[in-house]
Amino acid sequence: PATPPPAPPPAPDATPGHHLDFGSGPAHAHAPGLSQAQMLRIERDILGKNDARAAENRAWLAARGIFALNLVSSPGSGKTSLLVRTLQLLGGRVPAAVIEGDQQTEFDAERIRATGVPALQINTGKGCHLDADMVARALPRMALAEDSLLLIENVGNLVCPAAFDLGEAHKVAILSVTEGEDKPLKYPDMFAAADLMLLNKVDLLPYLAFDAGRAIDFALRVNPRLRVLRTSATTGEGLDEWIAWIEAGLAAARARHAAGAHA
């Protein structure tokens, strides 16, 4: 008799309405040939090593009073334009440096350097995010001043960077009004990991069918403690509040540094 065909692989969880959910298992992901338990072990190993390296970065930065921010968003949110405007508004009052993360090119780092602020480019190749080891290798190459500001522009991606701590003081999620207002619900891990959300390019709201209140409500559903600022690098809206938030964080980092030095 003919050999029966092999049984099909187990299907992901399915619900009515032609819906396949590949993120419903313990690993919240799917990889062909790997069980959920195997995926969990691999993820814990990778993230455990990353978190240990991030803790070293955090201690290194704290020992120097450096206030580090990890800026995360999807591509095209206006991160680099907002960074350039931020550095211009700080106007050299605060010593600052930037780490730029992209898969290829130095275009964004060159835009930062044009402001007079040093920038180090990290190209990740096929990698979709920065990790703590990349940042650890960058820090000693940058001659960072004590009591300074370090801005890290992560690779444009709302998925992977959420899981990778770099040693920063805060993740800052940037959501542009040219994107979907439901992004916080579609990519909840990023907005859950952030302490501040900048709703950017708000100068374009009169020309778009984007409900800013709805987007903010969705973000707060994911993360009720999230602070939200509406910003525009073009008109300057909200940038005074953004700069004040940065300066408050800098002051706190410097105070902790000074207290540690006199302990």
Predicted confidence pLDDT, tens digits, the chain (263 residues): 566 666 555 555 545 567 766 666 776 666 777 677 776 676 676 778 999 999 999 999 999 999 999 999 999 999 999 999 999 999 889 999 999 999 898 889 999 999 999 999 999 888 889 999 999 999 999 999 999 999 999 999 999 899 999 999 999 999 999 999 999 999 999 999 999 999 999 999 999 999 999 999 999 999 999 999 999 999 999 999 999 999 999 999 999 999 987 76
% of the chain at pLDDT higher than 70: 87
Residue 25 covered by a domain? no
Do the domain assignments include residue 98? yes
| CATH number of the domain that residue 201 is part of | 3.40.50.300
Does a structural domain hold residue 69? yes
Q: Is 19 within a domain? A: no
Instruction: Classify residue 65: in a domain, yes or no.
Output: yes
* Predicted structure pTM score: 0.85
pLDDT of residue 147: 97
Count how many domains the chain has.
Answer: 1
Residue 45 lies in a domain: yes
**Domain residues for 50?**
37-262
Q: Does 225 fall in a domain? A: yes
Token pair listed for 59: 């201690």
Residue 5 belongs to a domain: no
